[in-house]
Structures are given as C-alpha cells and as structure tokens.
Amino acid sequence: MDATRIQLRSWDDALRRGARRVGWKAALGFPEIEAVIGRRPVLGHLTSETLLPSGARFSVSQLRAPRVETELVIELAEPVASGSPPGIQRAVAGLAVGLEIVDVARPPDDLEGIIAANVAHRACVVGPTRPPCAPGAARIWINGAVRQSARPPEDYGDTLSALVRVLAAVGLELQAGDRVLAGSLTHAEARAGDHVVAEIEHLGRVEARLVE
C-alpha cells in the first residue's frame, strides 16, 4: 500500500491545483505491466488534468513507449464502500467507451515504482455514458485500420470489488459519479502522426490525434 499512498499524493496535488476528480483505472490487460505485476488489478487515478475531449490532439513527445488502449468505462450511480453486499453491479449507472494513452517504458521496473507512477497513465478520452447493456466488440483503429479487437467481459463486478478493496486500504471509496477504466480491451503501439479511434459496439467511439 505504500506505493498506492505515494501515487495518491500526486492525486491530492492535482485536486489542490483545481483539477476535478474523474475516477480510477484498474490496470489490467497490457503485457508490459503484467510481466512485472502479474494478472491482478492495481489502482491508478484519473483527474481532469489528463481528461481529453474526443478529437483532441495529444503530444507524445515526452513518451518513450506510447501505447493506446480501448477501455470499458463504468460510471457509478452511488458510493461503493468496502463490505458492500454482493451485486455490486447494481451501483452502476451506465457504461461508456474510453481511449487511454499510456507509456510502458522502463524504468520504473518494479511493482512499487509502476504503481507510484500511476500505472503508466498519461491521458484518456471518455465517451458519453449510456445505460447498462451487453457491450459488443471492442476495437482500436489506427489511421483508418483496425489494429486489434476483443470482446469485453460479461461480468466486471470482480474488477470493481478489487478496486473497492484497494481504496479501502487507504481510507477511500468509490463515489457516485466516479468513472472507472475497467482494464484494457485492446493495446497497440502508436506514434506521433497517428489518428486513433477506440470503439465498443453499442457504446460508440472516441478518438484522438497523436502529435509531436
């Protein structure tokens, strides 16, 4: 938990600067990180400082190993605290498509360093929340071509429960209005000049242009 507390200092700093709380990310599904931490969700934070509108330009000049990911985004309708009863999905207000931009370069090379550095997060685009549904295929498009596709999980309750436990350990909880990136569904290399689109059937698409 020490690494999570270090990470949350930067979260606190952003909020003191006037950033708005957006939510959290469950770091799942990208091999460069899983090679170090294994297949279990770890916590990252989201604020308005790294939230982009769809179609925005984002500079990757400071990123050493940029990747782009399609994310299933979960928005909560009510707080979810440690010890919440089974059926955590009843707290879900809706779902959205997300595009996350990460930097998987090393260092950091260890679990603690990766968590403290906000688990590679650099920016994200989040689409409008839609009523809960069974989302269709997820895709990442780069320059008009599908680079990768996948099926979202049918049950994301375990991911939310894992985040609840991590947050409880540092005295926090999921709040109403929080949006959670529930793990990458696609994960692809990208570079300056790329036009990137993240899509999930039934939830829509969002996009960004990577620049120097």
Supply the pLDDT for residue 116: 93
For 85, other C-beta atoms within 10 Å of its C-beta total 6
pLDDT in tens, 74-93: 999 999 877 665 567 789 99
35 beta partners: none
Helix (H, G, I), strand (E, B) or coil at 92: strand
pLDDT in tens, 40-68: 678 999 999 999 999 999 999 999 999 99
Candidates 48, 175, 18, 37; CA nearest to 123 is: 48
DSSP alpha helix (H) spans, the chain: 2-16, 31-37, 111-116, 157-169
pLDDT in tens, 152-162: 988 888 888 88
pLDDT in tens, 139-150: 999 999 999 999
Helix (H, G, I), strand (E, B) or coil at 4: helix
Q: Using CA atoms of 62, 64, 69, 72 in order, give the dihedral in degrees to the nearest 10.
A: -60
* DSSP per position, 112-139: HHHHHTTTTEEEEEE---B-S-----EE
pTM score: 0.93
Report d(CA 72, CA 164) in Å as an integer: 18
Burial of 40 (0-12, 13-18, 19+ CB in 10 A): exposed
Candidates 138, 154, 136; CA nearest to 146 is: 138
- Residue 28 per-residue DSSP state: -
Please list, in sequence order, all residues whose beta carbon lies within 8 angstroms of the beta carbon of residue 131, skipping any fewer than 6 positions away.
94, 95
Supply the pLDDT for residue 36: 66
Contact 151, 135 (CB under 8 A): no
How distant is the alpha carbon of residue 117 from its chain centre?
A: 14
